[in-house]
Amino acid sequence: MHLLVLGGTRFVGRAVVDRALALGAEVTLFNRGRTAPGLYPDLETVRGDRTTDLSAVAGRRFDVVVDCAGYDPAVVARSADALRDVVDRYVFVSSASVYADQSVPPVEGAATLDDDSYGGRKASCERVVRDRYGDRCLVARSGLIVGPHDPTERFPYWPRRFRRPGPVLAPGEPTDPMQYIDVRDLAAFLLGDAAGTVNVVGHTLPMADLLAACQAAAGSAHDLVWVPTPDLLAAGLDPWMGVPLWIADPEWRAANLVDGSRARAAGLTTRPVAETAADVLAWDTARGGPADGVEPLSAGDEQRLLARR
């Protein structure tokens, strides 16, 4: 397999490249050379800006292209058009954020957003790819993506938190549903032969199980203090990013209940949460914690809130 990866040097693309190399594929990267230049010195990297000019790869022949980081339909149209006659298969990394109604478990046939939001633009990108490639494309609607090299500070916060002393603030209720996809399982699925539009998510698990896995990875015996959503909101804490992974808005109550049965039938397999938590902690420890040195939920804010209880 000769694979072209649009992007390939940050998170999802990196996992795709690593997986492809493990499968023995030939890999060509197309990017501007700004993000982690030199990461893959032995791979052919074609330099270019996809927003303006893909001519450097348009005349080439590839079996598969994986478009890791397309956010703008006009930009995705440019690559989809340029590669239409030279690739057999176009794989587009989309998002479960395309679904218009996150209060009911999203299934593939449900309505998508049609606005200028992140999810609305991803939905437009999907249409661009489907219109041009038909059954020669895979549109992978990923849930929350986690794993080593995650550029967000959402998941890594949790295993890292258990390495610090003190009782740990746990948001919401222990039974709150949680769902994610390990980036390496996503990459394996993207490089399989599934086609069509597919939700790519892991099994839903209770938040308590996710935190238990993070705690076990860190070898910690801290007490967890569950703080209900109304108390966190009253304290002015921000859902999702301020207290990572905490969902407060009732309109988003089914965001972690995305139906992944179609992907499983098409070959998706997911590793245990214990493995993801341990690997994220190992990576996070090696890099020395958050990239900017700032915790999403500071130790001071956490302890102040817990002291009030």
Ligand X SMILES: NC(=O)c1ccc[n+]([C@@H]2O[C@H](COP(=O)([O-])OP(=O)(O)OC[C@H]3O[C@@H](n4cnc5c(N)ncnc54)[C@H](OP(=O)(O)O)[C@@H]3O)[C@@H](O)[C@H]2O)c1
Residues between 18 and 57 with contacts to ligand X, criterion CB under 6 A: 31-35, 49-51
Q: Which is nearer to ligand X, 11 or 158 (CB)?
A: 11
Each residue 67-96 as x (binds ligand X by CB under 6 A) or -, in order, gives -xx-----------------------x-x-
Q: How far is the CB of 215 from ligand X (least distance, A)?
A: 22
Q: Which is nearer to ligand X, 69 or 110 (CB)?
A: 69
Token readout for 77 is 């149209």
- What's 54-121 look like in SS3? CHHHHCCCEEEEEECCCCCHHHHHHHHHHHCCCEEEEEEEEEHHHECCCCCCCCCCCCECCCCCHHHH
- The angle subtended at Cα 147 by Cα 301 and Cα 98, nearest 5°, is 85
Binding of ligand X at residue 296 (CB under 6 A)?
A: no
Binding of ligand X at residue 156 (CB under 6 A)?
A: no
User: How far apart are alpha carbons 136 and 37 in whole angstroms?
Assistant: 31
Binding of ligand X at residue 147 (CB under 6 A)?
A: no
- β-pairing, 205-206 vs 177-178, is antiparallel
Options 3, 4, 7, 178; binder of ligand X; rule CB under 6 A: 7
Binding of ligand X at residue 220 (CB under 6 A)?
A: no
Q: How far is the CB of 152 from ligand X (least distance, A)?
A: 6
What number of residues does the chain have?
Answer: 309
User: How far apart are alpha carbons 63 and 219 in whole angstroms?
Assistant: 45
Binding of ligand X at residue 159 (CB under 6 A)?
A: no
Binding of ligand X at residue 271 (CB under 6 A)?
A: no
Q: Which residues contact 293 (CB under 8 A, 6 or more apart)?
A: none
CA pseudo-torsion sign 225, 227, 232, 237: positive
Binding of ligand X at residue 148 (CB under 6 A)?
A: no
Options 4, 14, 20, 296; binder of ligand X; rule CB under 6 A: 14
Binding of ligand X at residue 308 (CB under 6 A)?
A: no
User: How far apart are alpha carbons 131 and 6 in whole angstroms?
Assistant: 19
Options 79, 112, 124, 142; binder of ligand X; rule CB under 6 A: 142
CB crowding 75-103: b at 16 or more within 10 Å, else e: bbbbbbebbeeebebbbbbbbbbbbeebe
Options 11, 40, 99, 162; binder of ligand X; rule CB under 6 A: 11
- Site size for ligand X (CB under 6 A): 24
Binding of ligand X at residue 106 (CB under 6 A)?
A: no
Q: Do 95 and 121 meet the contact criterion of CB atoms below 8 Å apart?
A: no
Q: Which is nearer to ligand X, 8 or 239 (CB)?
A: 8
Give me the residues that bind ligand X (CB under 6 A), please: 7-14, 31-35, 49-51, 68-69, 93, 95, 142, 144-145, 152
